[in-house]
Amino acid sequence: MGRLAEWHGIARAHPAVTDALLAAALFVASLLPVNPPGGGLSLAAVLLAAIGSGALAVRRRHPLPVLAVTTVSVALAQLAGVARGPMVLTVAIAAYTVATRADRRTAAVAGLVGALAVGAAAIATLGVVGPDPAVVVLLLWIGVAVAVGDAVRSRRAYVAVLAEGARRAERTLRPEETGASTEPAPSLNRLDALVEGFSTGQPVRWTVAGQPRPLPTAVDVAAYRIIQESLTNAHRHAPGAAVAVRLRYDPEGVTIEVRDTGAETSPSPGPSAGLGLLGMRERAEAVGGTFTAGPRPDGGWSVRAELPAAEEQAE
């Protein structure tokens, strides 16, 4: 158990590396025949396996597009008669990822579409009319994946609520003490963990453009805090709404954009909303940057910050 927990901790600390290794392992496994001895390995089989498995490397950032790519690649492989090994696992893993990061309705619809596409391709390939056991097994794989992913999402949200309650209680039952904090310093290097924490309550997608590079400490902290406060506001005032975080590096600095699609029923913003915007503006201006925020024409809210950090200023 100790060794398993250690590996789990390493995987959580390096999600991008973990997903890349998973993609590579499934690519190799997808080249194995289901019923050996099979025919020769075709170019189509290799390409479709590479596309479907390789998409899993970015499953956390783009869960829905990855599910679409894996579903199409598996369905095409089945229709072409080149589906080899556990290619269907790529669809199941992608469906699981969607369920852990999207709301229940989105996960259910996406999983159903993926299952129907793979099932229809399997039926066409096998030439069966009724519910063939092999097709039923394929559908069960995807259905179980969605159910497990939804359970994981719910558990993460529950644990997050308990942890937040414990932190608040500790701050009010214990007086502030002097001494160094053991919490990791705010930094864009921890952006993946920050987004993952908010993804337990609502779908959050984030992208990075340009070439990431070390930033001056003040700019790095300001950028992290602006994203953190933007996600907090979205979670508080637009619960369940889809949120998109975009981070762009250029030679002059870094640009942050956080957008949400808006809540179905708009809750009344409290005083904390204005204070949060004021705090983000002050952080941006403290490092010589600019900050804008406001409602979007098509609904929702948008936050944008431009922070100067010339390449030669990086520390």
Q: Which helix (H) or strand (E) holds 82?
A: none
Is residue 40's pLDDT more than 70? Answer: no
Structure confidence at residue 267 (pLDDT): 45
Question: pLDDT digits over 134-156, tens only?
Answer: 778 878 889 999 999 888 887 77
**Tokens linked to 308:** 């100067």
Structure confidence at residue 78 (pLDDT): 87
Is residue 274's pLDDT more than 80? Answer: no
Average the pLDDT over 246-262 and give the result.
91
Question: pLDDT digits over 157-166, tens only?
Answer: 666 655 555 5
* Per-residue H/E/C for 249-286: EECCEEEEEEEECCCCCCCCCCHHHHHHHHHHHHHHHH
**Tokens linked to 234:** 């979205």
| Strand order through the sheet with 243-250 | 204-209, 243-250, 253-260, 301-308, 290-295
pLDDT confidence tier of residue 182, bands split at 50, 70 and 90:
low
Structure confidence at residue 91 (pLDDT): 92
C-alpha dist (Å) from residue 250 to 162, 258, 296, 304, 307: 40, 18, 25, 15, 11
Structure confidence at residue 177 (pLDDT): 45
For 268, residues 6+ apart whose C-beta sits below 8 A from its C-beta are none
In CATH, 188-313 is 3.30.565.10 = yes
For residues 265 and 192, the model is more confident at 192
Structure confidence at residue 30 (pLDDT): 81
- Quote the distance between the C-alpha of residue 273 and its chain's center: 25
C-alpha dist (Å) from residue 21 to 54, 85, 90, 137, 149: 10, 18, 13, 26, 20
Give CA–CA dist 43/142, Å, rounded: 27
pLDDT confidence tier of residue 32, bands split at 50, 70 and 90:
confident
Give me the torsion for CA of 76, 81, 86, 88, rounded to 10°. Answer: 30
Q: Could you tell me if residue 303 is left (phi over 0), alpha (psi between -120 and 50 degrees) or otherwise beta?
A: beta
Is residue 34's pLDDT more than 50? Answer: yes
Structure confidence at residue 275 (pLDDT): 63
For residues 14 and 74, the model is more confident at 74
Give CA–CA dist 18/97, Å, rounded: 14
Q: Nearest Cα to 198, choosing from 105, 260, 277?
A: 260
73-82, 179-188, 257-266: range with highest mean pLDDT: 73-82
Is residue 315's pLDDT more than 50? Answer: no
Percent of the chain with pLDDT over 90: 24
C-alpha dist (Å) from residue 115 to 50, 74, 103, 297: 20, 11, 18, 36
**Tokens linked to 134:** 């092999």
Question: pLDDT digits over 201-253, tens only?
Answer: 678 888 999 888 888 888 999 999 999 999 888 888 888 888 999 999 998 89
Report residue 279: phi and psi, to 5°.
Answer: -65, -40
Report residue 60: phi and psi, to 5°.
Answer: -75, -35
Average pLDDT over all residues of the chain: 80
Burial 174-186 (b: 16+ CB within 10 A, else e): eeeeeeeeeeeeb
pLDDT confidence tier of residue 45, bands split at 50, 70 and 90:
confident
In three-state secondary structure terms, 212 is coil
pLDDT confidence tier of residue 269, bands split at 50, 70 and 90:
very low
Q: Which segments of the chain belong to CATH 3.30.565.10? A: 188-313
Is residue 36's pLDDT more than 80? Answer: no
Is residue 41's pLDDT more than 70? Answer: yes
Contact 202, 245 (CB under 8 A): no
- Quote the distance between the C-alpha of residue 46 and its chain's center: 27
Structure confidence at residue 312 (pLDDT): 57
Structure confidence at residue 233 (pLDDT): 87
